[in-house]
Chain A
Amino acid sequence: GQNIDQPTEMTATEGAIVQINCTYQTSGFNGLFWYQQHAGEAPTFLSYNVLDGLEEKGRFSSFLSRSKGYSYLLLKELQMKDSASYLCAVSFTGGGNKLTFGTGTQLKVEL
């Protein structure tokens, strides 16, 4: 199977910036997604990267380096409501348009 790695947990302070990293196997890469999931709820879409570089969307930005098999999600001006699990997901060619999810990073925002 395809391995997608993320840190299990992170803690940050309200108002600060946090970067959540994701690494994946580069073979057959087709696109990378970030989702936010609050406990007991369905994931919601945050961002999509298919080309190298930074995609900015409000307080959230996502970066991709295809050659390195690396992405990060950057959250600025953290708010308490940002406490959630952040899932990195990759689409691989030949996978029938399936998304393979990483283990998820549980982010805790503190005062």
Chain B
Amino acid sequence: GAVVSQHPSWVICKSGTSVKIECRSLDFQATTMFWYRQFPKQSLMLMATSNEGSKATYEQGVEKDKFLINHASLTLSTLTVTSAHPEDSSFYICSARDPGDGVEKLFFGSGTQLSVL
């Protein structure tokens, strides 16, 4: 199956700093990538849809100025959590579809555990 690489796997930062998370499609091109957030023992909540070469589409209630998304190429999307606070501590996961897969399933990155002190 298709491979989605996400980096870093975990990060600890101080409150007020910014953190960048990268998501790469390794063996396919992804015009669209999806960013999810997951709190402990809860399901995945879609934050935004990242569109290559254009602005991201944010879900209701997600602050676009706080969660900056850039999709500058067909294989890379980045999520930057700006001025992070402890309540931003969560598991962030990116995903994408492989256009050549034939089924509309999502392939997920390995996730990034963010802890804000």
Contacts and interface: CB of A to CB of B under 8 A. Distances in A.
Interface of A: 31, 33, 40-45, 48, 87, 91, 96-104, 106
A108 to B, nearest CB: 13
B97 A45 contact: no
B46 A100 contact: yes
Given A44-B108, A97-B32, A98-B34, 12 more contacts: A40-B111, A41-B110, A42-B110, A45-B1, A45-B106, A98-B46, A98-B49, A101-B36, A101-B44, A101-B45, A101-B46, A102-B43
Interface residues of B, number: 26
18 contacts: A40-B91, A41-B110, A42-B110, A43-B108, A44-B108, A45-B106, A45-B107, A48-B103, A87-B44, A91-B104, A97-B32, A97-B104, A99-B106, A101-B45, A101-B46, A103-B43, A104-B43, A106-B41
Contacts of B46: 98-101
B24 to A, nearest CB: 14
Interface string B17-53: 0000000000000001010100001111110010000
B114 to A, nearest CB: 13
A87 B107 CA distance: 14
Given A33-B105, A42-B93, A48-B104, A103 B57 contact: no
